[in-house]
A and B are shown apart, each in its own frame.
Chain A
Amino acid sequence: DTEVTQTPKHLVMGMTNKKSLKCEQHMGHRAMYWYKQKAKKPPELMFVYSYEKLSINESVPSRFSPECPNSSLLNLHLHALQPEDSALYLCASSQAPLLGTQYFGPGTRLLVL
């Protein structure tokens, strides 16, 4: 199983809403990542979890709050987002932190109204 799954596929939320994005992998990978991708741009790294601990936070605003409940799951909690946060949010995992091939999920397309 080389799959990274993400739910939901699409999400529309208002600026006062609280929502969560979920990511799951069962490859035994010990590193998981959140990326943000705007249209026609490459992905931008947001967070890296290494052995279930946050190891990199790329100066992401606090309205994005990551959580890694266990080695297979990664959440991204969203609160008080802005319209400019509308983007594709991609989760990825790799066997070791920041090494090797990163396997990407299909992404959650987020629209903030």
Chain B
Amino acid sequence: KNEVEQSPQNLTAQEGEFITINCSYSVGISALHWLQQHPGGGIVSLFMLSSGKKKHGRLIATINIQEKHSSLHITASHPRDSAVYICAVRETSGSRLTFGEGTQLTVNP
């Protein structure tokens, strides 16, 4: 079992839909990151969370430390949101990021 599990693996939505991507982890963490990777490779850091909720534009990230779960929400989705979304955690006992397998999001016009 991976230490970081994401669901779903693949997600297809219509433009305008509300999207949720989930991340569960099994270790104690000091921070959780949500990353976005477009075709072609470059990775953009969207959020770093250690508690609560953060919002940036149409993106919202939440984390529940007790339940070891985080969600990334996209409101009013747009085709340009199509990308792979990766959850990564920094363990309290470790020093490196542990990545989930990623969620491939496709938003159709």
CA distance A71 to B72 in the complex (A): 34
- Mask: chain B, 18-61; 1 = CB below 8 Å from A; 0 = not: 00000000000000010100001111110010000000000000
Bound-state CA distance A106–B96 (Å) is 20
Query: Is the Cβ of B41 less than 8 Å from the Cβ of A109?
Result: yes
Q: Is B78 an interface residue (CB 8 A)?
A: no
User: In the complex, which range does the number of interface residues on chain B fall in?
Assistant: 10 to 19
A-B contact count (CB 8 A): 46
* Chief secondary structure at chain B's binding surface: strand
Q: Is A23 in the interface zone, CB < 8 Å from B?
A: no
Which positions in B face A, CB cutoff 8 Å? 33, 35, 40-45, 48, 86, 88, 90, 95-97, 99-102
How far is B90's CA from A100's CA once the two chains are assembled, in angstroms?
10
Check A45 against B97 for contact (C-beta < 8 Å). yes
Chain B proximity mask over A72-113: 1 for CB below 8 Å, otherwise 0: 000000000000000010101000011111111111010000
Assess whether B42 is in contact with A104, with CB atoms less than 8 Å apart: yes
- How far is it, in angstroms, between the C-alpha of A98 and the C-alpha of B96 when the chains are bound? 6
**Measuring CB to CB, which residues of chain A are less than 8 angstroms from any residue of chain B?**
37, 40-43, 45, 48, 56, 88, 90, 92, 97-107, 109
Q: Can you name 9 A-B residue pairings with CB atoms under 8 Å? A: A42-B99, A42-B101, A43-B43, A90-B41, A101-B45, A104-B45, A106-B41, A106-B42, A107-B41
Q: Judging by beta carbons under 8 Å apart, are B95 and A98 in contact?
A: yes
B99 to chain A: which residues have CB within 8 Å?
Answer: 42-43
With both chains docked as a complex, state the minimum distance between the C-beta of A46 and any C-beta of chain B, in angstroms. 11
6 residue pairs, one from A and one from B, having the closest CB atoms: A42-B99, A104-B43, A107-B41, A106-B42, A98-B95, A88-B41
The CA of A81 and the CA of B40, in the complex, are separated in Å by 22
B101: chain A residues at CB < 8 Å are: 41-42
State whether B90 touches A42 (Cβ < 8 A). no
